[in-house]
Amino acid sequence: MNEDAYLLARARAVRNVPLTTVGAADGLSVLRRAADDVQRRLVDVEAAGGPAVMVRWAPDVEPVSGAVGDPLTHREAAPSQLLTLGAAVRLCWPDPELALYPGGAVAEEDVLAACVPPGDGLLREGMALIAQTSAYRSALRVLRACGYLAADAGDGMVRLGPVVAAWSERDVDELRRGYDLLPCQVEEG
């Protein structure tokens, strides 16, 4: 097997490749060349062990993830996952004029509270308590497992994950245009 193809396959399998694993600059350039050969790119991300790279599609290539309506090849995210991701993006990205990734860290409870619909104080408080053991907490686990959110560091904080770093500039611009529509906790009173 071609050594470059092996490095690329390994990088895709492990998702995040720490820069210390890639080695010297020539190791990174070999991996970058292998990615370019198959319409991929390397994205710089922050991993638990420090700086890393992640293999993603080139910006001008957007492969179809499956035929819409075909349950064997196309899977839609649950509404709770989309709402939770939207809340995490909004709260971890307080200024849409700045770069989206890596963003900041925000408490899990703030993300969960942002998922609760607005209402009177007592209703909102009760729903926020329910949310802590509901579909929104499950959505946090799924989003972390898929790389949209960083792995749980055990500190009760939510951070944007490496998959977000790979979003195209077109997608980030779309988020900027709809920034005010992303869920966030509204102060009542």
> pLDDT for 71-95, tens place per residue?
555 567 788 889 999 999 999 999 9
Q: What whole-number distance in Å separates Cα of residue 2 and Cα of residue 85? A: 38
28 against 165, higher pLDDT: 165
Q: Tell me the mean pLDDT in the region 149-172.
A: 89
User: What integer is the mean pLDDT of 4-23?
Assistant: 74
What's the Cα-to-Cα distance from 89 to each of 17, 19, 106, 110, 151, rounded to whole Å?
24, 26, 10, 12, 15
Assign residue 143 a region (left: φ > 0; alpha: ψ between -120 and 50; beta: otherwise).
alpha
Highest mean pLDDT among 15-24, 25-34, 110-119, 152-161: 152-161
